[in-house]
Structures are given as C-alpha cells and as structure tokens.
Amino acid sequence: MSQRVSLTQYLVEQQREHGLIPAQLRLLIEVVARACKRISISVNKGALGGVLGSADTENVQGEVQKKLDVIANEVLIEANEWGGHLAAMASEEMDTIYVVPNRFPQGEYLLMFDPLDGSSNIDVNVSIGTIFSVMKKPENGCGVEEQDFLQPGSQQVAAGYCVYGPQTTLVLTVGNGVAMFTLDREQGSWVLTQENVQIPADTKEFAINMSNMRHWAPPVKRYIDECLAGKEGARGKDFNMRWIASMVADVHRILTRGGVFMYPWDKREPNKPGKLRLMYEANPMAFLVEQAGGAATNGLQRILDIQPGQLHERVAVVLGSKNEVERVTAYHREDAAL
Ligand code: P6P
C-alpha cells in the first residue's frame, strides 16, 4: 500500500462514497481511536508506569480489576463524555450505564466497551485489547436508560477493537467491510494497513480452552474430538490449536489468517449461557467477523440476532471461518433435535 491513508481520510472517504459515517459518528470513532492511543501508552509502560497488578477492587462481574482495567475505563469515559456525540456509555467495568452529564451536550449514539479485554494477560506481557460497539439511541423522545442499550447486535452502526500487541492495531467496521489501521508511533497517527479483510471459509486451526473439555456439551466434544483425530479421522486433515486467552488477540489472528474460536457453554456454571459478554465482546466481534465473510453463533443462533435481556448478560460464542462455524452449529442443532 504505497500512499499512506490516515484514519480520518478513510472515514471521510467512507462518508463521501457510502454515506455511512455521519459527522457525529466520525467524531465518535476518532475519539475512541485517540483514547486507544492513550491506553496503549499506559499498557506499553508496564512496570515502568506502575500500572501492573491488581487495583484491589471488583467489577460487576465479581472479577478483581487490574489497575489497567480501571485506567482504560477512565480514559474512555473522559475522552467521550464532552464531545456531544454520545447519549450514554456502558462498560464491562461499570455496574450501570454512564449517562453523559448535563454540563455536556447529548448526542444520538450509545457506546459500549470492554476497556481492556484479556487483562489476566497484562502482568505476563501477552497481547490484550479494547473492544467497542456503537448503536444509535432509540428515538423515544425521553432521556436515556439501560433499556435503550438492549438492542440486538444487528443494530450496531460501528464496532471495532484495538489490539495492544507487537503492533498496536485498530480494527474497524462501519458496515462496509473491515479495515485495519496500524499505529505509527513516530507520527502518533493511525495508518490504513489493510482493508476489505476476508476470513477464509475453511481452516485447520481452532481456538478453545482445552482444560474445560470434561465440562463441554456433546456437540463441542464431538467437533474437537474430530479435529484431534486429524487426517486419520472424520475430517481427513490435521488441525492446529491456539488459545491466547485474550479474545481480541484470538479474533485478530482469525481475521488475519482464518480459524474458529469457541467459548461454549459448559457445566461449571450451568445457569450461565457462556463466559463472554454479549453486548461488548460477542456482538462487536460478531459484527466484524461477519463483515469479513465469517460467521458467529452461540451454537444454535446467529449472535447478532440475539435480543439482549440485560446489559451484562453472557453468551456462548462460536465464530470465525464460515464453514467451520456452520459445522459446529449443525452439530448443536442435531444434538438439540435428539
Ligand atoms: P479463560 C479474558 O478474560 C476473556 O474474557 C476473553 O478475552 C478470553 O477469550 C477468555 O476470557 C479467556 O477465558 O477461561 O480461558 O481464561
């Protein structure tokens, strides 16, 4: 890619050519991208910045927060609250929604985010990331409330993540394919490094936490057993396995070279449909994956069709190379029909 295209230029051209990014949405995306730059600076300081380790607090999920979880959340709130593009925000790290204070103008968008996903990897220097999802506030003429966020993922107008790895890369969709921007630290700018990202329909690579095998439902066990049987088994080919335990890093690999990612229901907590959160992990990742030609289900249903019942609800996730996701989903449907 000879000429360097900035994030701003990309967004302006998407608006000019496709009318997909009204001014307020462009401002929102640029503000989130700037916040991710700030988060990457804190992440990259590590021990030198005194940002490693626990914050000695718990989030709504009952998880001990890392210092960087809290820092990243504060950066995103402070960056987005004054611009006039948002009505409210929701975060994995906050119990309830954050309504833009009255001292600032309210906008028409709702922003949801996992400010720092994979934070168990922070202290061991493994890639982590920020995941975000954007929807429009329903035009109901009154103030904004939690109920306004409870829209199916198909209502997203934009979604993306920033992966803080060997490169800092912003991955974005506004509904017209997936583009990747790499942070040029010398210029402090996001540079378009890939567009029209396409996930291969087939793969030989699966991502799942194998330590949970004894807790899986039969369709998951069947699929993984077939992968492990390799070329002598039903699939007739050998498979590779990866599990980074940072959804952002695993999904980035799948967007880059294909694969299937699974965090299924398991019997450790049978009342929970899965570990991952629907609104600010599964929905944005499902939007990106589908925009790149892949598929995303909860084993039975398209993730983007799921009607949320609560802000922090969880969901089982199977996403990535279309033909593999369809196979896993078919196994679940066969099992459900028994
Ligand atoms: P486990 C990180 O905590 C996360 O929410 C996802 O990013 C990741 O895919 C998953 O949990 C890892 O879970 O049970 O393997 O540690």
Spacing, Cα 294 to ligand 1 middle (Å): 21
Rounded Cα–Cα distance for residues 166 and 104 (Å)? 37
Pair 133, 159: CB distance under 8 Å? yes
Ligand 1 pocket test target in 116, 247, 268 with most atoms within 8 Å of CB = 247
* pLDDT of res. 59: 82
Residue 1 has pLDDT above 60, yes or no: no
Task: Write the pLDDT tens digit of every residue in 177-211.
Answer: 999 999 999 999 999 999 999 999 999 999 999 99
- Please give the distance, rounded to the nearest whole angstrom, from the Cα atom of residue 107 to the centre of ligand 1: 33
Contact between 254 and 178 (Cβ < 8 Å): no
Query: What pLDDT is attached to residue 64?
Result: 81
Average pLDDT over residues 45-70: 83
Global pTM value = 0.96
Inter-helix orientation angle 7-18/23-45, to 10° = 160
| Ligand 1 center to 289 CA (angstroms) | 18
**pLDDT reading at 130 higher than 60:** yes
Question: All domains of the chain, ordered by start, with CATH?
Answer: 7-194 (3.30.540.10), 205-337 (3.40.190.80)
* 291 within 8 A of 174, measured Cβ to Cβ: no
The answer to whether residue 152 scores a pLDDT higher than 70 is yes
61-104 tens-digit pLDDT? 778 888 889 999 999 999 999 999 999 999 999 999 999 999 99
CA distance 304 to 284: 9
- CA of 248, closest atom in ligand 1: 7
Which pLDDT tens digit goes with each residue over 260-278?
999 999 999 999 999 999 9
